[in-house]
Amino acid sequence: MMISAVEAGDAMGAIAATLERHGIVEPEGFSVLSRLSRELKLKKDALAWSVEVDRGAPILFKRTTDEKSRGVKPRIVAKGIEIEQGDGTALPFRALDIALEVDDDASVPLSRWHLDLANKPDGVPQSGPLTHLQFGGHHHDDREKDHPLKVPRWCHPPMEVALLCEVVAANFYEEAWLELRNEPNWCQAISLYQRLCYRHYFERMTNSLSISSSTALSGMWASTYA
């Protein structure tokens, strides 16, 4: 079943409201999520849309602390996400570039997790799984802090802004997430994005389990993914 832009916008709005009500997202982060919701709803019944969260105006989450009581400040940025559902038989992403960045109280980068779609320079797929999770990447304000390794690229299902927000909530604000995770509006909104992002990916992964002449990872590799 196809998902329209207005449905995605309504779901994004519910996610923004829930995160704000439970004190997980900063006002600036709530504003960005609300903007994304409005922009999606303006596209009405469209089955293709794009989403961008600029580094200058990221989705900011409340300051929290790690296991050693050090202050940490998570944020989400998305250089570009392009949804193209087509006839529903292929992965619904033309572009995917989203990151979770975590700084300390002095704005020193602590970690960066980058989820994207394998590049195709000159039509040749980048080495690695088609959709992959990668530690590090570019620290745009200070390239000397870039992680020295580009591998491994972990085989990982695609995630849009909404699903990455739940990852942040569950990992950095677990007590609040345990309270909100069964709220009907939250579950319905997250479920919609799970169907959008996961359905084709897990169908392919499941199908690979019945093939003994190859491996699941090989089937998800960018050069063989069809």
In this structure, the number of other CB atoms found within 10 A of the CB of residue 190 comes to: 19
Question: Over 70: is that where the pLDDT of 146 sits?
Answer: no
Over residues 59-115, the pLDDT tens digits come to 999 999 988 899 999 999 999 999 999 988 899 999 999 999 999 999 989 999 999
Angle between helices 5-21 and 27-42 (to 10 degrees): 160
Report if pTM > 0.75: yes
What is the pLDDT confidence band of residue 143, given thresholds at 50, 70 and 90? Answer: low
What DSSP line would sit under 110-172, residue for residue?
Answer: EEEEEEEEPP-GGGPPPSSBSEEEEE----TT-GGGS-S-----EE-----HHHHHHHHHHHH
Average pLDDT of span 20-48: 98
Q: How far apart are CA 117 and CA 133, in angstroms?
A: 9
